[in-house]
Each structure stands twice: as C-alpha cells, then as structure tokens.
Amino acid sequence: MSAKPVAIFVQVSHFVMEKAKKLSLVLLFILIAMEAQALMPVEILKTKNQGPQPADSEIAETVHAHIHTRKYREVKVQLIRDSQGRPSHYLVYLLSKTSHRVDFVKIAIDQHFKVLSVQKNYKLQDIDLKQQPGLVPKNTTFQDTIILSRVSICQNIYNSSTQAESGAGG
C-alpha cells in the first residue's frame, strides 16, 4: 500500500520539476528579450557638411543592428559625406564603460543609406577629419590634422554630453 503513494508522489514531483524547468527557460528568454530591447541611446552629431539624411531613429536602428552598443557608456554617430556631398559612411563613436577611450566603427553606406559593410577598430581618415565642425588650418600636415581633429572630435563629444546633462539639448 505504501509503495503506490510514493510512486505517485515521485511521478507528480517529476512532472512538477519538468514544468518548473520549462517555466524557468521561458522566464530567462523573456528577461533576455527585455534586456535586448533596452537599447543604448544613440546621439546624432553634426558635421561640417550637413544635408538630407534619414531620421535620427533610423540612423540609431542601423547602428543597433550592426554594433552591440550595450557594452558602451555612450554611442554617438556622424553621417560622413564624400567630396561630392553624397553619403559615404556613418562614423560611430563608442565611449567605453570601463576605460577612458573611444572606439570608432565605420558603417559604409550607399547613396540611399543602405549598409554596405561594417569596419570595427576603424582608424580615422582624412574624409572623417574634414567633416568635423571645428576649424582646421589649411597649411597643416596629415598628422597635424589628425591631432587638431581629435581635439575637435573630443570637444564635439564633450559639448554634446554637457548639453545633455544640463538639459540644453541640440
């Protein structure tokens, strides 16, 4: 008589444990999905040569689709144009959460803003530096331009951060 209730108890507990495992997997999936939806905001920075571009939300979606942004403290992007004013690429600034550094990513695009390629660990090029909204003297070497433009880039990032903190926006 006592063996039958024990067997039923074992079957019920096995059934409950299987349901609990499935429920915990479902909850884990929901938590992962919720974290994935909590995307890092992407700030759109101005460049020297402004022109038509997608909505800020579309640019942010493109960045999120190609870069794991949750690893960074801040994410900023500029639309870089070629010498004829056509869209060339998005220059993405990734400000590290763990150290004082900025990583660059180049998202190459066509004239319709469709992604062609993604280049991580991107090194700034002359086309990027010429688009920065700071003054660069005409008679400088490429190395001088890099130094001056990095100062301009850092100033651009700093200004946008301090405006956001003060609530000025822009």
Check the CA dihedral 145-87-122-150 and report its sign. positive
How far is residue 76's CA from residue 132's CA, in Å, rounded to a whole number? 13
Alpha carbon distance 46, 50 (integer Å): 7
pLDDT at position 136: 57
Model confidence at 40: pLDDT above 90: no
- CA 79 – CA 46 distance, rounded (Å): 8
Strand ranges for the chain from DSSP E:
42-44, 72-81, 87-96, 102-109, 115-119
Q: What is the pLDDT of residue 170?
A: 44
Q: Which residue has the higher pLDDT, 69 or 138?
A: 69
Q: What pLDDT is stored for residue 169 in this prediction?
A: 46
- Predicted confidence band at 151 (pLDDT cuts at 50, 70, 90)? low
Instruction: Return the pLDDT at 113.
Output: 92
d(CA 106, CA 111): 15
Task: Classify 126 as helix, strand or coil.
Answer: helix
The pLDDT of residue 34: 56
pLDDT band at 115 (very low <50, low <70, confident <90, very high): very high
pLDDT at 99 over 80: yes
* Nearest-angstrom CA–CA distance, 58 and 45: 14
